[in-house]
Amino acid sequence: MSMLPLHHVVLSVTDLERSAGFYESLLGYRRTLESAVEGERYERYLRLPAGSTGRMMMLQADERTVGMIELIEWSPPLAETTPPKRVGDPGVTMLALELAPGETLDAVIERLAGLGVPLWSEPETVELEAYPPFRTLIVEDPDGILIELIQLPTRDEVRAYRAALREQEAHA
């Protein structure tokens, strides 16, 4: 079997408008679809308790229909919920989102501060073997889901870095 890139991820949220506002104002996503999630078909497909309903919203970063975020607010909310996953817990622990070309982590940090969104972690420079250093930081969405924001080097920067490595290895 061969798969294409991740189509979308589904996040259950406690307040659809609040979460949509976060992803729109902070990350630049835009709403492209809103719909009810209700009926026997969804109950069967998603193994929901009878009578469960939801409101969903699809968010896109650009015109592509990959990498989208689907937010769903369920009604009635569950009587007991679990906290968001953290590193080391089995399952999805964070969403890692690459900044658009031309966007900088410093500009995002300013936007975060302006919106009153605290950093979950300070910006870090990540160094991987045979890849140029890049910067990243983590924030939490309104429901505590970890969001890693990554400013990757350009393709030209990666090529130049690897060419320099090959040159060093040739002279070693």
Fold of 1-80: 2,3-Dihydroxybiphenyl 1,2-Dioxygenase; domain 1 (3.10.180)
Residues 121-156 pLDDT 10s: 999 999 999 999 999 999 999 999 999 999 999 999
Any bridge partners for residue 137, and if so which? 149
**If DSSP codes are grouped into helix, strand and coil, which group holds residue 44?**
helix
Q: Which residue has the tokens 């290895």?
A: 169
pLDDT in tens, 25-78: 988 999 999 999 999 999 999 998 889 899 999 999 999 989 999 999 998 877
Cα separation, 50 vs 38, in Å, equals 10
Cross-strand pairs, 121 = 138
Alpha helix (H) ranges present in 47-134?
A: 105-115
- Length of the chain in residues, anyone? 172
Confidence category of residue 89, pLDDT binned at 50, 70, 90: confident
What's the token pair of residue 41? Answer: 């078909």
Q: What is the mean pLDDT of the chain?
A: 92
**Tokens linked to 114:** 């302006």
The helix (H) or strand (E) run that includes residue 18 is helix 16-25
* pLDDT tops 90 at residue 80: no
What pTM was estimated for this model as a whole?
Answer: 0.87
Domains 1-80 and 82-172 share a fold: yes
Asked if residue 29 lies in contact with residue 99, where contact means CB atoms within 8 angstroms, the answer is: no
For the chain, domain boundaries: 1-80, 82-172
Cβ neighbors of 160 (< 8 A, separation 6 or more) are none
Q: Are 13 and 73 in contact (CB under 8 A)?
A: yes
pLDDT in tens, 94-123: 999 999 988 999 999 999 999 899 999 999
CATH number of 82-172: 3.10.180.10
